[in-house]
Amino acid sequence: MKAVKVIDLKNPIVKIEINSNENSIGIADESGSFREIDVNEFKLVSGFKINLEKPLRTFSNSVAISNSLRFIAICLADKNEVGVWGFKNKKLLRIFKRHSGEVESVQIDNKDHYIATGGTDGKVFLWNVKTGRLASSLAPHADYVTAISFSENSMWIATGSYDKSLNITNIANLNKVSKLRGHSGAITSIKFLKNLKLVSGDKNGEVIIWDYSVNKLIKKMPKMLDVVTSFCVTNDQKYLFASSKNGYIALYNLESGERLNDTFIKHSSAVTSMQFLSSKNMLVMGRMDGFLLFYDLNKEQTELNHAIKDKLYSKAYELVEKNPMLLDTKEYKLLEATWHSDLKQAEALLETGERDSVSKLLKPYMDITLKRAFIQKLLREFKEFEKFKFLVESRKFPLAYSMANLYTSFRQTSVFMKMEGYWRTYFNKAKDIMFKKGAEEDMKSLLAPFRGIPEKTALIQSLFQERETYNLFMLRLGKKDFKNIFLMAKQFPFIQELDEYNKIQTFADNLMQKCEQALKEGRYNEAVRNVQILTDFPDFEERAKNVIKLSNLYANLMNEYANKRYLKVYQMVDEYPFLEETLLYNELESSWFSIIDEIEKMVAIGDVEAIKQRTDNYSKVKSKIPKIVQTIRSAHFVQIEDAIKTKNLPVQNILSALQRYVEIYGYDDDLTYLVEIAKSKYNMPIELGLLQDGDISKIFGVKELPNNIFPQ
């Protein structure tokens, strides 16, 4: 695949981010230069350079660009800090420092609300962009934090580490933390997917799909040959692109877990960052040699269309082989329809002996290996077709079926279908008279031409031996007693060969599709009403019960939401995490995020009373209590920090507040930080003494927490 546009930026590219409107991209290179490039005209929109003491690190997650292109966050080398710049005003806006070692990784959420930082100290901090304050300390790792990712809706954060594990945290609530293990190397890339799934890659090239709602490893996909440097997915999330340090882009099918092409695109230089422009179906990638490349995936679809129109089928199938995503296009469906149409016409011509016409018709397919082998077999087998035709016309069915089994191409011909028509006619006549007195001889006479044919013998014998069984089958069919019909089919396999049985299966398949579509479109009552009958079908029982379960859940969720019973909605989501994907829950969470935004501003001034008042309606929602408590803890931290920095209180008051903090929340990194700055400001040792250590995870009520951490 060739790039439609190549731009030489001269310096190694560190990070690419797509603007949320998909009209432009933000790019960072090793020199500290930042650019915005228009993706319609491939022109520079704006740019500036940050004077850094050291170059930005490639093959790391040490630079983040917000998808609004408003902010740039950089892990500052040797400073244990993260600097935040405005992309538009080109100014340093904030410095975040709390890590005790270098900051290894940084990421900005999709709402520009949080910046997450991970360090060599294994710690992960969540910062409020607007206030510049620490919002939360997240679950730490045992080693360097090497990768961070936010979910699309900004409700979840995933962190990866040299300790080969991932931590997944619900940042809207802080009530769910999952530890995922399964990698053999340091985590280098993480990407959230829909339906509470995510994909992660590591230093050894491993690619793993997870269901983080149940802490489950779903699939270890085929490894890449080098370090995984980035992931991106198509808009429907069916396909995953993975880039590696060796310059290869691999293509995976996320539904099957297969690697479709390990060298979908090959580069001469390492790929450092990659994104997918869904509105243009375009891959954008940056390389170590400084080149920025754009790949138009629609281009090959257009090429496929032209190849089909020009009857260049060999080229068409070659395009599909190189790019398996073309299998989903209308052009490929047309290509296959053309092949089957030509094949059917060729079979019809062969039946009339017109071999030369067939050779001419199928000539465009002869350069395609699989098609050529099939055509050659077809032509070879049809040399015997006249013998087969004679046997059918002579009603020598045993010999004809024997030839059809040997020369399988014959089974698609009109002559074979005619023979099958004879069989169905005689078999149905035998069924019609089977219960008449003395009908056995007439049945034998009707079915005599098909004696000795292995594929028919079992049915013929069953018809004679199981007449009562067949009668019972028809009786149960009339009563739509499907449960017992399938039990009979399991006990008497001949039933599975009956036309009536096959019609039942077709009916079930069609009904199942309609019910699942009704569920998808929100017609829950219709889905439940129609799918009930399928619970008696073994092949559909599990799917039918799932439709009923989901329909009832979604209907109940809508009812609780409509009646403003939000506590019940949250309880349902806690029990069934997949409900997080619903529009209703996201609307509800949008309100909660607005409140989070408000109370985190209150943290900046240490106003615990205001936090309590604003979150009062959520104080009984179990899943929200950890976030509220954590916010109040942060406000108490600010109260102590401000008092220390201004020195407006005696050291004994500071000591009392620190002791009270420990008794409520326990010892933590924030306390250590406060003790250190207190020592520095007051120029004296701070000894807390032996205290009863509190535990923030065991605080289940909000109202009993003090408004002021300083004892009154």
Reduce the DSSP state of residue 315 to 3 states and report it: helix
Task: For residue 61, give the DSSP letter.
Answer: B
- Measured CA to CA, the distance from residue 225 to residue 250 in angstroms comes to 10
Q: Which amino acid is at 153?
A: N
- Which of 174, 209, 42 has its CA nearest to residue 600? 174
pLDDT at 689: 66
- Contact call for residues 160 and 188 (beta carbons, < 8 A): yes
pLDDT at 479: 83
- Measured CA to CA, the distance from residue 527 to residue 53 in angstroms comes to 63
Edge-to-edge, what's the strand order for the sheet holding 63-65? 63-65, 71-76, 81-86, 92-97
Helix count and strand count (H, E) for the chain: 21, 28
CA distances from 215 to 45, 212, 572, 592 (A): 43, 5, 19, 25
Once rounded to an integer, what is the mean pLDDT over residues 151-156?
93
pLDDT at 690: 59
Q: What token pair was written down for 670?
A: 């924030």
- Measured CA to CA, the distance from residue 432 to residue 423 in angstroms comes to 14
Name the pLDDT band for 290 (thresholds 50, 70, 90). Answer: very high
- Measured CA to CA, the distance from residue 671 to residue 693 in angstroms comes to 12
- Measured CA to CA, the distance from residue 169 to residue 163 in angstroms comes to 17
Q: Which amino acid is at 671?
A: L
CA distances from 338 to 305, 330, 374, 438 (A): 12, 12, 16, 53
Q: Which amino acid is at 188?
A: T
pLDDT of residue 174 exceeding 80, the answer is yes
Q: What angle do CA 190, 207, 579 make, to 5 degrees?
A: 55
HSE of 99, CA atoms in CB hemisphere, 13 A = 32
Backbone angles phi, psi at 265, to 5 degrees: -135, 135
Q: What token pair was written down for 425?
A: 């006619």
Q: What is the pLDDT of residues 95-146, one digit of tens each?
A: 999 999 999 999 999 999 999 999 999 999 999 999 999 999 999 999 999 9
Q: What is the DSSP string of 264-319?
A: EEE-SS-EEEEEEETTTTEEEEEETTSEEEEEEHHHHHHHHHHHHHTT-HHHHHHH
Which comes out higher in pLDDT, residue 392 or 477? 392
Domains of the chain are 17-229 (2.130.10.10), 479-563 (no CATH), 583-698 (no CATH)
Reduce the DSSP state of residue 359 to 3 states and report it: helix
pLDDT of residue 305 exceeding 90, the answer is yes
Q: What is the pLDDT of residues 26-35, one digit of tens each?
A: 999 999 999 9
- Contact call for residues 611 and 628 (beta carbons, < 8 A): yes
Name the pLDDT band for 667 (thresholds 50, 70, 90). Answer: confident
- Contact call for residues 217 and 232 (beta carbons, < 8 A): no
- Measured CA to CA, the distance from residue 250 to residue 240 in angstroms comes to 8
Q: What is the pLDDT of residues 381-436, one digit of tens each?
A: 999 999 999 999 999 999 999 999 999 999 999 999 999 999 989 988 888 887 77
pLDDT at 460: 82
Name the pLDDT band for 609 (thresholds 50, 70, 90). Answer: very high
What does the mean pLDDT of the chain come to? 91
pLDDT at 683: 80
Instruction: Provide the Cα torsion 11, 15, 16, 17; round to 10°.
Output: -150
Q: What token pair was written down for 290?
A: 């400084």
User: Taken in order 233, 246, 40, 316, is the CA torsion positive or negative?
Assistant: negative
SS (H, E, C) 639-674: HHHHHHHHCCCCHHHHHHHHHHHHHHHCCCHHHHHH
Q: What is the pLDDT of residues 630-658, one digit of tens each?
A: 999 999 999 999 999 888 888 889 989 99
- Which of 69, 97, 61 has its CA nearest to residue 82? 97
pLDDT at 366: 93
pTM listed for this prediction = 0.82
| Range name among 484-493, 572-581, 588-597 with the lowest pLDDT average | 484-493
pLDDT at 699: 76
- Measured CA to CA, the distance from residue 110 to residue 524 in angstroms comes to 32
User: Taken in order 436, 441, 444, 446, is the CA torsion positive or negative?
Assistant: negative
Find residue 134's DSSP bridge partners.
127
In this structure, which long-range contacts are made by residues 683-691, counting pairs with CB atoms below 8 Å and at least 24 apart in sequence?
684/651, 686/651, 686/654, 686/655, 686/658, 688/655, 688/658, 688/659, 688/662, 689/659, 691/659, 691/662, 691/663
pLDDT at 470: 76
pLDDT of residue 63 exceeding 90, the answer is yes
Reduce the DSSP state of residue 236 to 3 states and report it: coil
Q: What is the DSSP string of 500-531?
A: HHHHHHHHHHHHHHHHHHHHHTT-HHHHHHHH
| Range name among 155-159, 266-270, 586-590, 687-691 with the lowest pLDDT average | 687-691
Once rounded to an integer, what is the mean pLDDT over residues 589-616?
93
- Contact call for residues 326 and 315 (beta carbons, < 8 A): no
Q: What is the DSSP string of 562-576?
A: HTT-HHHHHHHHHH-
| Range name among 8-12, 480-484, 685-689 with the lowest pLDDT average | 685-689
Once rounded to an integer, what is the mean pLDDT over residues 65-69?
96
- Contact call for residues 163 and 132 (beta carbons, < 8 A): no
pLDDT at 455: 86
Give Rg (Cα) of the chain.
34
User: Taken in order 371, 376, 378, 379, is the CA torsion positive or negative?
Assistant: positive
Task: For residue 452, give the DSSP letter.
Answer: T
- Which of 383, 373, 436, 441 has its CA nearest to residue 407? 383
Name the pLDDT band for 693 (thresholds 50, 70, 90). Answer: confident
pLDDT at 673: 85
- Which of 188, 166, 282 has its CA nearest to residue 234? 282
pLDDT at 109: 97
Edge-to-edge, what's the strand order for the sheet holding 134-138? 103-108, 114-119, 124-128, 134-138
**Region for 228 from its dihedrals, namely left if φ exceeds 0, alpha if ψ lies in -120 to 50, beta otherwise:** beta
Once rounded to an integer, what is the mean pLDDT over residues 556-563?
92
SS3 content of the chain, % helix, strand, coil (to 5): 45, 25, 30
- Measured CA to CA, the distance from residue 12 to residue 662 in angstroms comes to 48
Q: What is the pLDDT of residues 310-359, one digit of tens each?
A: 999 999 999 999 999 999 999 999 999 999 999 999 999 999 989 999 99
pLDDT of residue 437 exceeding 80, the answer is no
Cβ-based neighbour number of residue 516 at 10 Å: 17
